[in-house]
Amino acid sequence: MSDDALVIFTPSGKRGRVARGTTVLAAARKLGVDLDSVCGGRGICSKCQVSPGYGEFSKHGVTVAPAALSDWNAVEERYDRVRGLKEGRRLGCQACIQGDVVIDVPPESQVHRQVIRKSASDRVMAMDPATRRYYVEVREPDMHEPTGDFQRLAEALESQWEIKGLAADPSLLGKLQKTLRKGDWKVTVAVFHDHLGPPRIVDLWPGFHDAPLYGLAVDLGSTTIAAHLASLTDGRVLASSGLMNPQIRFGEDLMSRVSYAMMNPGGDAEMTSAVRAGLNTLAEALAEEAKIEPADIVEVVVVCNPVMHHLLLGIDPVELGQAPFALATSDAVGLAAAEIGLTAINPGARGYLLPLIAGHVGADAAAVALSEEPYNSGDLALIVDVGTNAEILLGDSRRVLACSSPTGPAFEGAQISSGQRAAPGAIERVEIDPATKEPRFRVIGCELWSDDPGFAEATAATGVTGICGSGIIEAVAEMRIAGLLDPSGLIGSAEQTGTPRCEPQGRTHAYLIHDGSADGGSRITVTQGDIRAIQLAKSALYAGARLLMDELGVDRVDRVVLAGAFGAHISPKHAMVLGMIPDCPLDKVTSAGNAAGTGARIALCSVAARRAIEAEVRRIHKVETAIEPRFQEHFVAANAIPHASDPFPELSRVVTLPAVSFNTGGGGEAGGRRRRRG
């Protein structure tokens, strides 16, 4: 019998020879196998469970005998008695290799395991968290060798976990002293270690502490702040929530906030305080919803546009309001969460802001890229994240371009006469019968259509209160399909369209979708002004996409990905009728849900992902829409529904648009033509 033995680990297939008597955990470390352990091989944490294979394994060319591992020892027996060990499992830190053996590492024993998400975005999340817990036994102080408690803890982490160059904020050192004594020199330490700095103590607990740690993935938008509370152990989302960005009171859109900072000394600091307060409120709400302690939140990843980014960091965004839109800093930022005012969570928590792509293309676009990975795409993908600004990415594995387009808030239901945010009672789907010109619709919070029996009763609680972003897009597209709108966007009169729902309104017309006024409810119409707002927004979006296509020298894209909270609800057919997106086979238009939020979650769960997106962002080519003459040309040409300048062959396979024209040369003439002169 030779002194060493062959070990093969599955599923990695890693193999090698180790001295007989080596523990499975030690063998795994030696061979670079991903086998978890928090207690460092002391038989406490049970993270290192493995399933040894016995019998013949001819495909590996080894014969494995049941005696290939040492017998159960007292630690395993006690563990099984107290906490139960699954059939066939061993503790990797206790079982010793006695002969050739194949050892399977089950998914739950892998540090970098992939976890299937069941909620909103069914996403495989690769775990490589920056913050991990380590159980260590620390040397007691010795008057004759008077080193500090921190130095002895650092020494223990180095010798027991190979963590070198440990750092700690002075504010943690007092707690460190108390915890070491409370735990009788055995403590569990949460260490944050990313690619930007040395390993750093986040928090610590007496003895072995197995409670999970959590992180926040925040999508900080101009209008809303959305956040997920996720476990840093398996990436599971425990709670998701959102609130209005409290900066709204300083201006609805980005440029009005930049103006506020320019016009009001200290205005930037006011907005910084407001958004930081909002983040704290959100963090507390999420912790309460998930029934965890806010102090168990030890990381926060934020994605946002450049203005939000600078205001969150406390940087006056004034330079972002004027060419050349110079960022104060463009790289990813790693800092203490307290430095961005996040005081509601663990005081040692760390923060990470994804890199910015350009002065108008933010960390939110970087997060979309991280989520959708155009740089790994074989076909040419157009990725559009629709919000108050649209972030647009176009590319494939060879090259990725990015730009931002100022769509304004119309797609979110703002600046629309009956517009409202997506909430119960808001119209989200609209259909108009091309023959009768009668509409039917659905509201958020109810599965019935408005012409289904029982709709009135089902919506009695909320009523029909307005029309949200996806609803207004469907309404406008359906109006065009039904011949209520001409290609220039003009609403016809009752005479021209043959329906009394086209009511006069000043010198133009409006289309009545719902009249609840008899019951004290609201009258919901689509006005000519609403049509113009949507036309401006969709023209901006389309022009941005076309600009990138020009830059890449292509006329078509292989697929379109709609992202943004809103992307999940929009129907590809209506987006194409409206001319929001370039022509593309309908089955190639998909929704990515809240891709920016997903990107934030991916970064929260993985240091490797942070490294990857930082490298990719450097390779992305940025196109600045604000100074590009072709953007204005595309913008003007895209005003019609659908565009006069584009053939849209795919669209004609889906729907035939009527060749109506309501243009009477009067005062209600299309804004698009006026713009053409501008």
Where along the sequence are the contacts to its own copies (CB under 8 A)?
140-151, 168-171, 173-174, 176-178, 268, 310, 313-316, 319, 323-331, 333, 335, 339-340, 356-359, 361, 622, 624, 627
Residue 401 or 464: which CB sits closer to its own copies? 401
Residues in the chain: 678
Residue 177 or 571: which CB sits closer to its own copies? 177
Q: What residue spans of 606-670 are helical by DSSP H? A: 607-619, 629-637, 649-654
Residue found by looking up tokens 């055995």 in the block: 186
Residue 286 or 620: which CB sits closer to its own copies? 620
Any bridge partners for residue 440, and if so which? 431
Query: Residue 347 in 3-state DSSP?
Result: coil
Task: Compute the least distance from the CB of residue 181 to its own copies, in Å.
Answer: 8
Residue 316 or 583: which CB sits closer to its own copies? 316
Residue 153 or 531: which CB sits closer to its own copies? 153
Distance CA 222, CA 304 (A): 8
Task: Compute the least distance from the CB of residue 251 to its own copies, in Å.
Answer: 19
Residue 404 or 450: which CB sits closer to its own copies? 404
Distance CA 189, CA 212 (A): 12
The residue type found at 676 is R
Q: Return the HEC string of 277-311.
A: HHHHHHHHHHHHHHCCCHHHEEEEEEEECHHHHHH
Residue 75 or 328: which CB sits closer to its own copies? 328
Residue 47 or 310: which CB sits closer to its own copies? 310
Distance CA 431, CA 437 (A): 9
Task: Compute the least distance from the CB of residue 50 to its own copies, in Å.
Answer: 39
Q: What residue spans of 493-620 are helical by DSSP H? A: 494-497, 528-552, 572-578, 595-605, 607-619
Task: Compute the least distance from the CB of residue 249 to its own copies, in Å.
Answer: 22
Token representation of residue 194: 């990313």
Task: Compute the least distance from the CB of residue 185 to its own copies, in Å.
Answer: 11
Token representation of residue 658: 């009527």
Distance CA 436, CA 442 (A): 19
Task: Compute the least distance from the CB of residue 151 to its own copies, in Å.
Answer: 6
C-alpha distances in angstroms, 140 versus 149, 180, 190? 8, 9, 20
Residue 359 or 413: which CB sits closer to its own copies? 359
Task: Compute the least distance from the CB of residue 141 to its own copies, in Å.
Answer: 4
Diameter over CA atoms, the chain: 101
Supply the angle between the helices 607-619 and 595-605 in degrees, to the nearest 10: 130
Residues contacting 247, CB < 8 A, separation 6+:
222, 257, 271, 274, 275, 278, 311
Distance CA 52, CA 588 (A): 46
Task: Compute the least distance from the CB of residue 259 to its own copies, in Å.
Answer: 17
Which of the 8 DSSP states describes residue 432?
E
Token representation of residue 399: 């090259």
Other beta carbons within 10 Å of 335: 14
Residue 343 or 663: which CB sits closer to its own copies? 343
Task: Compute the least distance from the CB of residue 149 to its own copies, in Å.
Answer: 6
Residue found by looking up tokens 């919506």 in the block: 459
Task: Compute the least distance from the CB of residue 371 to its own copies, in Å.
Answer: 22
